[in-house]
Structure formats: C-alpha cells, structure tokens
Chain A
Amino acid sequence: MNDAAPRPPELELANVSRTYFAGGAEEVRALRTLDLRIASGSFVSVEGPSGCGKTTMLNLVGLLDAPTSGEVRWDGHSVGGLSDRERARLRLRSVGFIFQRFYLLPTLTAQENVELPMRALGLPREDRTRRAAELLSEVGLSDRGRAFPHQLSGGEEQRVAVARALANQPGLLLADEPTGELDSGNTRAILDLLVRVRSARSATLLLVTHNPEVAARAGRHLTMRDGSVVRDVAGN
C-alpha cells in the first residue's frame, strides 16, 4: 500500500432520492431530492430525528447503497455506474466506516479486526501487523490487541472501530452516531479521538450525531427532517 493517504474526495449529492419498497404499501421515502456538496477535508455533522434519512445519506455517500434517482458524485464523477466490485474496491481504499454498534467481527481479536481491511488490500503481514499496532496505540489500546470484542468495554470497542476505519488511510470517514451507545466519558473520548485523527489526516469527516457537543465542534452542521436538509450552518 502506498503510504501517502488518498486525497479526501469532494462529495456531491445531486437531486438524490431514495425510496424503499417503492410502489408497495410499505413505501418509505428516506431521502427526497437532496442536493448537497461536501468539500474535501471538511468536518460535517448531521443531526435529525430517527428516520429522517441521516443513515441513508451516509450509506449513499459511502457507496453502501444506490439512490433511487439522482446522482452521487465523488470529485465530480458519478459513482452510479460503478459495478459492485468497483464500489467495494473504492470503499476499501477510500472510506472508513464507524458504526453506532461498533460492528467489530466477534471472532477476530482487536488487532485482527484492525488488520482486516489491510489484509483485503493485500498488505504484507509484517506491514499490517506493525500498522495495526500503531493504530491501536494511537487510539490508546496498545495493550488490548489480543482481546476479543466481547472482552472489551463499549468505549474500547469503538476505539478499535476507529482504528479499523483508519487502517487503509481513507480520505473519507463516515461515522454513524459513533457515541450513541457510550456513556458521557467515553463519548468525549471518542469525539476527541475522531477530531484528532481527522485533523491529523486532513480527511473528510461526515458524522451523524444527536449530541450538540459534537455539532459544536464540526466545521459545518446539517439538520435533517423527513429526508431533506432543513438547516445547513457553518460551525467552528
């Protein structure tokens, strides 16, 4: 793997809608003709009530899902025409996901969880072992590499998840309510960590949260309602 981190992409959602179960009785319009541009290297927080489309937007930006209509663009290029394999490759190289429920693989140790994306990228064992150790050290878990997820606290699990998200030096970090299941102490620690690693890497960070403290630390703050951005303000 090239040691140089990929340049953070500029993201654009053009007239994007996402409807689940379209045409059926249970049709859900998760996003409604959303237009949004996210500058390269920015820190954007997103808040809104449950079901307003925050996660859907994150999934579209992170190439986990495709819009029903409209276009998602990375650096001006539409990603709609990419095959599943190409999207997976782009996710692996360029996106770091941090989920609310951590989503560590329960059968792998913390170290192995962090190594997983690097392994998929074909990094030599020595390199990925060294880099995983560095990342665990960076998130303050240098002595917990051999622990399985069920042996870690919630805060520790999320820190491992952050380390995993950083493994392939992605230009884009997507965090979906990363502190939603943590106590206040751990919430602050994780936020500090995210802010620190983002600024150290100049990565784009798109962070979904209910926490006003988080919103206050972002450079830009979006508020969503019913599948649309209803408020878009600059922060610090």
Chain B
Amino acid sequence: MRGPRRGRALRHTRLQVVLAVAAIAAAVALPVVLISVGGGVSAHELASLQNAGYQIVVSAAGLHGISHAHALAERILAVGSVSAASPVLSVDVDAYTTSGALSPVLAEGVIPAQFGPTLSPAERGLFPSPLPLGDPTDLRHFDNGSYSGPATYDVLISFPFASAEHVGTGDTLLLSPTTNRSLGTLYNVTGVFGVLPTLLGPTGAFLVLLPLSDLQTMTGFGPSASATVPDAADTVQVAVTGAVAVSPSALAVVRGSIQALVPLYSVTSLAQEAQQLESANAVLTGFYLALSSVGLTIGLLFLALVLLRRVEAEHRSIGIRRALGLPGWSIAGGIVREGLLLSVLGALTGILAGYLVVEGLATWATSTVQEAAALARFDPTVLAEIALGVAGLSLLASAVASRAALRLEIGEALR
C-alpha cells in the first residue's frame, strides 16, 4: 500500500508499532550483547589456550598447592614425549618504586630455563632472550630446599607497569608480600617484557617475573628468609614434543602418565579445556537465546496486535479486494509483508542497539567489563540467524492477522 492513506493508517497505530518494534529490538539486543561479548571472551580464551606453548597443566587448588615443585618438574620431564615442565607460582605482591609509590602487581615465580620452552612463539617474542633472571636453573638459591644460596633479586617487569610507574631496566623495585612492606626486598629490574591482550583488566597487565625460589622465599610463611618455606607452585605447565602435541590420543597417553605421577593433582590438557570452554559457551548461548525468547514473545504479541488493528482499520479495503476476487494469498501477502517489515526493522534496530550497547560498555563501563566488551565478536552468521528467527516468528503473527482478514464477511466489510 502507498499514498497518503497509508501514512494516516500507520499514525493510528503508531504507538503499537513503536512498542512492537521496540519490544522486538530489545529482545534481539539482549542476545546480541550477551552472545557477542560471551562469544568474544570465549574465543579469546580459546585462542589463548590454542596458542599456548604448553599443552598440559598440572594444578592444585589454593596458594602453594603443588609442593616440591622443583623435584616434580624434574619427574615430569622424565616422562616420555615431555619437552618442558615449568613450575609457576603466581602471587599478588606489592611493588614500591623508588619514589615510594605502591602498585599491586601479579608476581610470577618461574625457573628461567624451564619457563622459556613453554612459551608460544608469539609470547617468546615479547621476552628478552635469554631471560635475564640470574641462575637459569634456580638451583643455587633453592639449594635443594634450604634456600641458603644467593638470591639473584632480579625481576622482569611488564611494559604496561613500566610505563605507568616510569620504571625501567637498571632501576630498583621493592617487592613485598601484600600489605607487609617490612618484609620487602629490593629487586633489580633486569628487563621489560610485553604482554598479550589479557582479560584481567588494566591491573592484570601489571606483571612481574622473578625466579621461583625468590618468590617462594618472599611469600614464605616464616618471618625471615632463613625460615623453612615450602617449595611450592600453583601450576606446572607441561610442553610435549611436536608430534604428540597435535595428536589427541598421544596427548592423552602423556596426560595419563603424568596423572599417575601425581594422582592428587588435577592434570588437564588444554584441548580438554578448550572443549569444555566451547561446550560451556554453547550452553550459555542457548540460555541467552531462551532468555530473549521471553522478550521476543512480547514483541510478537505486539506485532500481532498491530497487524490485527491494521486488518480492522482496513476491513473495507480488504472487503473490496475480496469482492473483486483477488486471491487470498495476495491479501495475506500484504499483511505478511508488513509483519516482516516491522520485525526486520525491530531486528535491525536490536542488532544496532546491541552493537551500540557493547560499544558503550567498552568505553564507559568498569575496567573488567570494558575489556570483555572490547573482545566482543559480532558473528554475521549468528546475527543473521537471530534476524531470520525473528522474521520466521513474525510469520506466526502475520498468520493470525491474515486469518482474520480472510474470514471477514465481504458483505459486512462493504456495508
């Protein structure tokens, strides 16, 4: 339909039209935001897993979860097809610059010579080579658990931290257990490394890397360095030889061998984690779509109402068409077209609104949300599926109105 009457007819139902389009748009925007952000974060995590230089993770819950980390790494290295085993201890510590400024940082304690081979090529390029962290084997200070040897007090700092705190190679940094500056030790900054995009927020990029035994000593439970401290790590990252890395069955054999060594620890392959992540993402996507179906139902009810009002307002025109003998499909076609137009308009508005919401979150939300929103991935296939779903459902609303139009008594309509 065209012409001035069309404008008038639409004005009569403008409010319903706006509400219907808005309801459909809201119902579409919700899954667009959730699926795009969730999918983006998931894809990022997945990429991180797939791009890691190690394939198996041995872990234990809680701080200092894996004991005898140095020895365990050696035992794992002895397992066939294992090319590297790097114990890692991650602890939040306080860093004080020479100006006295305090920054909470995430400290990672590593054995330099074992840490390097578990880096992916992309990560390896971010670090100075070889890692300037004193004793590559970390054994002189660790000294078979006595911690009696000389600590190196070398630390590598991340580029974001270096930039923010104006610290660089050659400077010193006081590192101490959180909120306990009196136990702090002065470290020499021996290098700066870059970081890959992270999901931990801006402070997450505030990383420092130091020898494992140094971090163990600093965060040990004893009052001084001479006290007994556990040889602890929270994970051991295990890299396998190239052929095994790409063979799920071979990887499973290696994983089983390591699990046999440490039956009380969790031993998982990153492929498993990736699979679990993908499964979780699929479940969440389904949940988001189910959630949005409530809004969509409301939108479609509004749409059906709009179309029924349209049939009511144009009952005479419909009666004339039917009296002239126009086939039912041509009458229903106009209604279906209008239903599709409104639903597609709602879907496009919803997709645009979802995009703008994500952009807004990436700009104005809290740092963690910002970072997650920045990773949002607008998958054209998913968006098209949502739009098609909306269009398909709008056919239901159109069918209700079309049925009403085709059941009009011609004589009544022309009276």
Contact = CB atoms under 8 A, between A and B. Distances in A.
B63 interface: no
B363 interface: no
A202 B346 CA distance: 54
Interface string A64-93: 110000000000000000001100111111
B317 A88 contact: no
A43 interface: no
Given A88-B328, A92-B326, 11 more contacts: A90-B325, A95-B325, A99-B414, A103-B316, A105-B321, A106-B5, A106-B317, A107-B3, A107-B5, A120-B325, A164-B324
Given A106-B5, A107-B2, A116 B324 contact: yes
A64 B326 contact: no
Given A105-B317, A108-B3, A59 B324 contact: no
B311 to A, nearest CB: 15
A65 B319 CA distance: 12
Contacts of A92: 324-327
B330 A120 contact: yes
Q: Nearest 10 A-B pairs (CB), nearest first?
A: A92-B325, A91-B325, A107-B3, A120-B326, A107-B1, A106-B5, A107-B5, A88-B325, A103-B320, A64-B410
16 contacts: A62-B323, A64-B410, A89-B327, A91-B325, A92-B327, A93-B325, A95-B325, A103-B323, A105-B321, A107-B1, A107-B3, A107-B4, A107-B6, A120-B324, A148-B3, A164-B324
Contacts of B322: 88
A59 B320 CA distance: 13
Nearest to B1: A107
A85 B414 CA distance: 19
Contacts of B2: 107-108
Q: Is the interface of B mostly helix, strand, loop or mixed?
A: helix
A53 interface: no
Contacts of A84: 328
A148 B321 CA distance: 17
B411 interface: yes
A92 to B, nearest CB: 3
A65 B6 contact: no
A123 to B, nearest CB: 13
Interface residues of A, number: 27
Contacts of A107: 1-6, 317
Given A64-B411, A65-B411, A120-B330, A105 B320 contact: yes
Contacts, number: 66
A160 B330 CA distance: 22
B327 A88 contact: yes
Nearest to A63: B325
Contacts of B330: 120
Given A106-B5, A148-B3, A64 B323 contact: yes
B3 A106 contact: yes
Nearest to A122: B327
A117 B410 contact: no
B3 A97 contact: no
Interface in B297-341: 316-317, 320-328, 330
A117 B326 CA distance: 7
A99 B413 CA distance: 13
Contacts of A85: 327-328
B415 to A, nearest CB: 9
B410 A116 contact: no
Contacts of B414: 99, 103
A119 to B, nearest CB: 8
A106 B321 CA distance: 12
A164 B326 CA distance: 13
A89 B325 contact: yes
A97 B323 contact: yes
A103 to B, nearest CB: 5
B6 A88 contact: no
Given A64-B411, A105-B320, A116 B3 contact: no
